[in-house]
């Protein structure tokens, strides 16, 4: 007979256990039975029976009803009969999270953002931005995060602390155990429920004691160990160890609300009906939906096995998080192994509830629960206009441990009827050790046979091809970043190197295709603990797209931080009246040494048209080959440079000026030098290299006088502009260096005959006294050159200006931010110098630099250089001032440049995008810069309605006047370009981007690109078009957003590229 308990019921405890605190309604089954007997006894009256007397007849049983109350009820149903000694009480459940948006699956993660899909199928796919990753671990109302029970103890349950197993010492008599054996009674009474079952219901809970059934109504939930079940109505049959759950049908909308949701360690299931056996761990789910990784598996009927394996009938698999998905893969039979894979029979793709003929005989979808694991990488299938059908990025991923991962993939192209498309391979290694270092190493190799294309139509016996018939290229990328630690060394690497034509042959991306310079470096640096000494060891390489390479192997530097000499002698500060002087004396030291090897030999020529034996007028490139290794090493440049800095302090003069003197000394050491000799036979100058220790020193002295002036205009009243301030910083400095030119020059030995120059004119090589007329540099084109030179006595003047204003803040209503500062002129600088030791041009050009920012969006900068001297008919400067020929002219504009950058969008300074954006180029191997990579650059931000970036650059340089015969007069502006890029959100899910440049000087458009992005929730459409140029063509792609189904796409492209 059923008994209903209202929300105020709070009774029941286990035998032998202390009564728990009233922290909610707690009811044990023995206690419930005990109270039921008390209720029956109370209705019949109290009766006392003496020992030995016959028992009175039992009176009819009457049901005990407790008034129903529609309030929150909480109760705990303990184990039937004698509870298990291993049972545990679980803590109360936390509040359920917020409900999902309408139409979205309960607990589903947000949809990934739209990303740019490169037309190059080899390009890797970046991770989604933070906060939008579909982790495959949704938060479902009513779920539990309890730990999995210990499976190592007997029976698969955790043992209560302090209890040990009891050994049965009772011996059966003739194989029959006495009924009074307490140990056997306890074993016989032990139930199948091994832990506490926690119930929650918003309306009421109904218990049927005779049938051992409990029913929970309205937003019911059951928590049994690691199993959570929520639904509108839940029925628990603790006699059969089963639970059933059903939803509630809304009579107005006919929608099923409060759907049953089952969560255990094997996964999460949403359905219309759930039947679960908590003894066998089996379940039968109708109209079920379960989350597996980034995808959702649904079926009309699902049978869950004890190991978590799922067998589904009429199953669907999708990555769309809506209850009614936009697309799904449908199969009649489906098997799911949680955390591993989804396997189906024959399937077909359904889009918008319309079946498509796309399908296969079986389906395999990996759904790993771990973030890393070894497995096969399924290749991408497609077709390229120039290389035919292809399979790319297929291979295997090795995850031997938690610190390293290896990805080996390959590509193959079918080509066309004439040539094979080629093949390629990639080895990518990622490694990470927490709090120590992380890095990535990538090696790519590609072979691509191509068609020979003549560079010119002219008839010749030596044809030149734009691209060789076969292009075997490779590229290496290595980035290693350590975690800084105090007192430890720092090893870092940034390597981007490979074949010069790799990006031209294998990439369709504009940045990679147009990149011309790549830099690499590997360094180790350390600050010696408790010492001012630090050192740095570096290996670097610079590579150009034209095949030029420069290696620095190695580059060593050793530095000593600034030291105070008076501390070396143990003198205490302030011990003398002269302490203010000598206590400011400082000494610093720096040593650098390099060995530089390049495959480009600089041109060798002499001044005044003198012929040079073996000389060249153009650079010579040496092929990088093992046979040329000796020649490359022989042509290397190396040396050591020492620099000593001696600071003499800083002293105030007249309270407003600061006087700072200093002295510097330096040396350069070489292991060779150049000697010159006139050769009368060859009628040329011969250069000999002499090996040995060579030391060249130089020294100089400097002094500077600095100050700062301020001019302020204050306006009283309530005007908008309250004040203006002008900051002026003049600086006057003087530097002196002696004449050391003779130390670095050599006079060749004269011969008996004169030489003839390149025009056949006799050139004397000595004066009347027999001395050579032509001194040559002994260290010409050496690594550090020849320090020192002619006598220097230079006075330099710098005048820096900045203008700011204080503006009333009308938006301030609290009085805490009444005014705000705004910069009118960030900088207006003038610099010039005068060399007293120069016999020709003492006054140096006057340089002007201007920069400002308008409305925090428009950046303006301009530079100009003015010369005070006249020029002759050949365009060369002569030692005459301009005002000597025309008093109205003091200066002449020699060169100038102007740049303007305008960046604007409505969210500037007000909203922050969910997608991180960088201001400067990052560690992009195509650009060769060093920095943190921007992993989310490929993703589109739909939060900004529109954005516009405009750049204008112009440059002016004075051309020689008049022009030589055959020369073409250059344009007035050597540089004159405009570039516009940005994007516009046409609709909520459609965005258009553009990138356009125009060279006004050449009257040509530079690399225009137009693209659009359409967000289709779980799908996306991306299209791009390059109207003209070397990479003109288009690309159109419809693809699923999920990285799990990244190969589920339709791609159409046409690119024109040299093959």
In the three-class reduction of DSSP (H, G, I as helix; E, B as strand; rest coil), residue 38 is classed as: helix
What is the C-alpha to C-alpha distance for residues 663 and 680, in angstroms, rounded to an integer? Answer: 47
SS3 content of the chain, % helix, strand, coil (to 5): 5, 50, 45
Between the ranges 513-527, 753-767, 926-940, 965-979, where is the mean pLDDT highest?
513-527
Between 110-124, 293-307, 837-851, the lowest mean confidence (pLDDT) is in 110-124
Residue 828 has pLDDT above 90, yes or no: yes
Q: Token pair for residue 244?
A: 């059933």
What is the C-alpha to C-alpha distance for residues 260 and 223, in angstroms, rounded to an integer? Answer: 13
Q: What is the mean pLDDT of residues 67-72?
A: 37
Percentage of the chain beyond pLDDT 70 is 66
Q: What is the mean pLDDT of residues 1026-1033?
A: 73
Q: Which residue has the tokens 């077709």?
A: 383
What is the C-alpha to C-alpha distance for residues 872 and 1035, in angstroms, rounded to an integer? Answer: 57
Q: Given this model, what pLDDT does residue 76 score? A: 35
Q: Given this model, what pLDDT does residue 682 score? A: 66
Residue 227 has pLDDT above 90, yes or no: no
Q: What is the mean pLDDT of residues 581-593?
A: 88
Q: Find the angle CA(728)-CA(729)-CA(731) to the nearest 5 degrees.
A: 145
**pLDDT tens sequence across 199-219:** 888 888 888 888 888 889 988
Query: In which band, very low, low, confident or very high, does the pLDDT at 194 lie, cut at 50, 70 and 90?
Result: low
**pLDDT tens sequence across 526-542:** 888 888 899 999 998 88
The CA–CA distances, whole Å, from 978 to 650, 851, 992, 1032 equal: 48, 19, 20, 20
Q: What is the DSSP string of 301-368?
A: EEEE-TTS-EEEEEEEEE---BSS-SEEEEEEEEEEETTTEEEESSEEEEETTEEEEEEES-EEEE--
Give every CB contact of residue 768 below 8 A, 6+ residues apart in sequence.
none
Q: Which residue has the tokens 């009819």?
A: 60
Decide: 877 and 870 in contact? Cβ < 8 Å. Answer: yes
The CA–CA distances, whole Å, from 700 to 475, 524, 661, 731 equal: 47, 33, 11, 19
Q: What is the mean pLDDT of residues 573-585?
A: 77
Q: Which residue has the tokens 């112009």?
A: 954
What is the C-alpha to C-alpha distance for residues 535 and 666, in angstroms, rounded to an integer? Answer: 19
Q: Find the angle CA(257)-CA(258)-CA(264) to the nearest 5 degrees.
A: 145
Q: Which residue has the tokens 């938690």?
A: 402
Residue 338 has pLDDT above 70, yes or no: yes
Decide: 471 and 477 in contact? Cβ < 8 Å. Answer: no
What is the C-alpha to C-alpha distance for residues 1048 and 1015, in angstroms, rounded to an integer? Answer: 16
Decide: 213 and 235 in contact? Cβ < 8 Å. Answer: yes
**pLDDT tens sequence across 366-386:** 776 666 677 788 787 777 766
Q: Given this model, what pLDDT does residue 83 score? A: 37
Q: What is the mean pLDDT of residues 144-156?
A: 38
Query: In which band, very low, low, confident or very high, does the pLDDT at 7 lie, cut at 50, 70 and 90?
Result: very low
Residue 606 has pLDDT above 80, yes or no: no
Rg of the chain on CA atoms, in Å? 43
Q: What is the mean pLDDT of residues 178-195?
A: 48
Q: Given this model, what pLDDT does residue 265 score? A: 75
Q: What is the DSSP string of 137-148?
A: ----TT---PPP
Residue 506 has pLDDT above 90, yes or no: no
Q: How far apart are the first and last CA of the chain?
A: 87
Decide: 861 and 899 in contact? Cβ < 8 Å. Answer: yes
Q: Given this model, what pLDDT does residue 880 score? A: 87
Residue 442 has pLDDT above 50, yes or no: yes
Q: What is the mean pLDDT of residues 246-258?
A: 85
Residue 611 dihedral angles phi and psi, to the nearest 5°: -70, 145
**pLDDT tens sequence across 691-742:** 889 888 888 999 999 999 999 988 877 677 888 899 999 999 999 988 876 6
What is the C-alpha to C-alpha distance for residues 778 and 788, in angstroms, rounded to an integer? Answer: 13
Q: Given this model, what pLDDT does residue 802 score? A: 93
Q: What is the mean pLDDT of residues 299-328?
A: 85
DSSP letter assigned to residue 609: G
Residue 264 has pLDDT above 80, yes or no: no
Segments making up each domain of the chain, as ranges: 1-37+65-95+141-151+183-280, 281-370
């Amino acid at each position: 007979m059923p008994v209903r308990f209202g929300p105020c019921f709070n009774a029941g405890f286990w035998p032998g256990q202390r009564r728990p605190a009233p922290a909610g309604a707690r009811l044990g089954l023995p206690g419930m039975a005990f109270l039921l007997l008390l209720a029956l006894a109370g209705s019949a009256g109290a009766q006392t029976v003496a020992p030995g007397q016959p028992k009175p007849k039992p009176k009819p049983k009457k049901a005990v009803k407790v008034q129903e109350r529609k309030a929150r009820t909480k109760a705990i149903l303990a184990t039937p009969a004698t509870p298990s000694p291993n049972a545990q009480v679980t803590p109360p459940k936390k509040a359920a999270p917020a409900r999902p948006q309408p139409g979205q699956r309960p607990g589903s993660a947000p949809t990934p953002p739209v990303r740019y899909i490169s037309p190059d199928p080899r390009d890797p796919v970046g991770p989604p931005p933070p906060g939008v990753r579909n982790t495959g671990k949704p938060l479902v109302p009513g779920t539990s995060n309890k730990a999995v029970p210990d499976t190592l103890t007997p029976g698969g349950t955790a043992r209560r602390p302090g209890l040990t197993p009891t050994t049965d010492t009772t011996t059966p008599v003739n194989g029959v155990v006495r009924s009074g054996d307490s140990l056997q009674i306890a074993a016989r009474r032990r139930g199948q429920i091994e832990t506490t079952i926690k119930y929650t219901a918003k309306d009421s809970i109904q218990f049927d004691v005779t049938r051992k059934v409990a029913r929970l109504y309205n937003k019911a939930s059951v928590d049994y160990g690691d199993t959570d079940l929520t639904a509108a109505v839940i029925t628990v049959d603790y006699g059969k160890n089963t639970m059933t759950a059903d939803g509630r049908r809304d009579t107005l909308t006919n929608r099923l609300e409060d759907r049953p949701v089952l969560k255990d360690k094997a996964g999460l299931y949403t359905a219309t009906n759930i039947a679960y056996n908590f003894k066998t761990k089996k379940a039968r789910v109708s109209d079920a939906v379960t989350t597996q990784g980034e995808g959702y598996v649904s079926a009309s009927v699902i049978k869950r096995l004890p190991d978590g394996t799922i067998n589904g009938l009429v199953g669907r698999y999708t990555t769309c998080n809506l209850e009614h998905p936009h697309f799904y893969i449908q199969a009649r039979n489906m098997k799911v192994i949680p955390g591993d894979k989804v396997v189906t029979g024959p399937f077909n793709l359904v889009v918008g509830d319309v079946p498509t003929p796309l399908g296969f005989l079986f389906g395999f979808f990996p759904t790993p629960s771990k973030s890393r694991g070894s497995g096969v990488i399924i290749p991408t299938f497609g077709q390229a206009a120039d290389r035919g059908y292809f399979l790319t990025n297929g291979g295997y991923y090795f995850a031997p441990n938690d610190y390293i991962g290896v990805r080996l993939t390959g590509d193959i192209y079918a080509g066309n009827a004439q040539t094979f498309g080629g093949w390629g391979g990639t080895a990518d290694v990622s490694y990470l050790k927490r709090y120590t270092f992380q890095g990535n190493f990538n090696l790519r190799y590609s072979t691509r046979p191509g068609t020979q294309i003549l560079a010119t139509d002219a008839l010749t016996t030596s044809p030149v091809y734009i691209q060789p018939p076969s292009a075997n290229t490779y590229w290496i990328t290595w980035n290693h970043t350590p975690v800084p630690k105090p007192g430890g060394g720092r090893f870092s690497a940034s390597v981007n190197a490979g074949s010069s034509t790799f990006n031209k042959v294998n990439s369709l991306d504009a940045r990679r295709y147009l990149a011309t310079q790549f830099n690499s470096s590997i360094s180790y640096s350390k600050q010696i603990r408790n010492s001012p000494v630090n050192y740095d060891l570096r290996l670097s390489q610079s590579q150009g797209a034209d095949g030029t390479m420069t290696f620095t192997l190695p580059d060593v530097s050793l530095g000593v931080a600034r030291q105070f000499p008076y501390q070396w002698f143990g003198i205490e500060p302030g011990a003398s009246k002269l302490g203010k002087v000598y206590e400011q004396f400082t000494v610093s030291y720096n040593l650098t040494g390099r060995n530089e090897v390049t495959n480009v030999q600089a041109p060798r020529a002499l001044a005044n048209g003198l012929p040079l034996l073996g000389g060249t007028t153009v650079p010579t490139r040496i092929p990088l080959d093992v046979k040329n290794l000796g020649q490359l090493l022989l042509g290397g440049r190396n040396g050591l440079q020492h620099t000593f800095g001696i600071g003499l302090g800083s002293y105030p003069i007249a309270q407003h000026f600061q006087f700072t003197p200093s002295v510097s000394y330096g040396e350069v050491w070489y292991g060779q030098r150049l000697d010159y000799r006139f050769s009368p036979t060859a009628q040329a100058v011969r250069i000999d290299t002499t090996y040995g220790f060579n030391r060249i020193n130089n020294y100089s002295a400097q002094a500077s006088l600095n100050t700062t002036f301020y001019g302020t205009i204050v306006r009283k009243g309530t005007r908008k502009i309250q004040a203006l301030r002008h900051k002026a910083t003049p600086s006057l400095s003087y530097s002196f260096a002696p004449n050391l030119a003779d130390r670095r020059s050599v006079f060749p030995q004269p011969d008996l005959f004169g030489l003839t120059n390149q025009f056949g004119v006799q050139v004397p090589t000595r004066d009347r006294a027999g001395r050579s007329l032509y001194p040559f540099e002994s260290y010409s084109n050496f690594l550090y050159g020849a320090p020192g030179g002619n006598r220097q006595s230079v006075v330099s003047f710098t005048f820096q200006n900045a203008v700011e204003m204080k503006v009333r803040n009308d938006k301030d209503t609290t009085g805490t931010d009444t005014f705000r500062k705004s910069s009118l002129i960030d900088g207006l600088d003038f610099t010039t110098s005068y060399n007293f030791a120069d016999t020709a041009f003492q006054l140096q050009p006057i340089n002007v630099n201007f920069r400002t920012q308008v409305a925090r969006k428009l950046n303006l900068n301009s530079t100009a250089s003015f010369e005070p001297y006249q020029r002759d008919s050949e365009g060369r400067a002569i030692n005459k001032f301009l005002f000597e020929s025309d008093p109205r002219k003091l200066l002449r504009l020699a060169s100038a440049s102007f740049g303007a950058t305008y960046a604007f969008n409505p969210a500037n300074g007000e909203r922050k995008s969910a997608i991180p954006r960088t201001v400067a180029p990052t560690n992009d191997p195509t650009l060769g810069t060093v920095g943190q990579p921007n992993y989310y650059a490929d993703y589109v931000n739909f939060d900004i309605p529109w954005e516009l970036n405009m750049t204008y650059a112009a440059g002016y340089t004075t051309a020689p006047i008049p022009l030589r015969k055959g020369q073409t007069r250059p344009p007035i502006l050597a540089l004159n370009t405009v570039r516009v890029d940005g994007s516009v959100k046409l609709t909520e899910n459609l965005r258009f981007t553009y990138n356009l440049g125009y060279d006004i000087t050449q009257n040509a458009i530079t690399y225009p690109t137009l693209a659009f992005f359409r967000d289709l929730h779980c799908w996306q459409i991306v299209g791009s078009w390059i109207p003209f140029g070397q990479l003109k063509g288009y690309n159109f792609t419809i693809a699923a957003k999920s990285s799990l189904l990244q190969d589920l796409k339709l791609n159409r492209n046409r690119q024109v590229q040299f093959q």
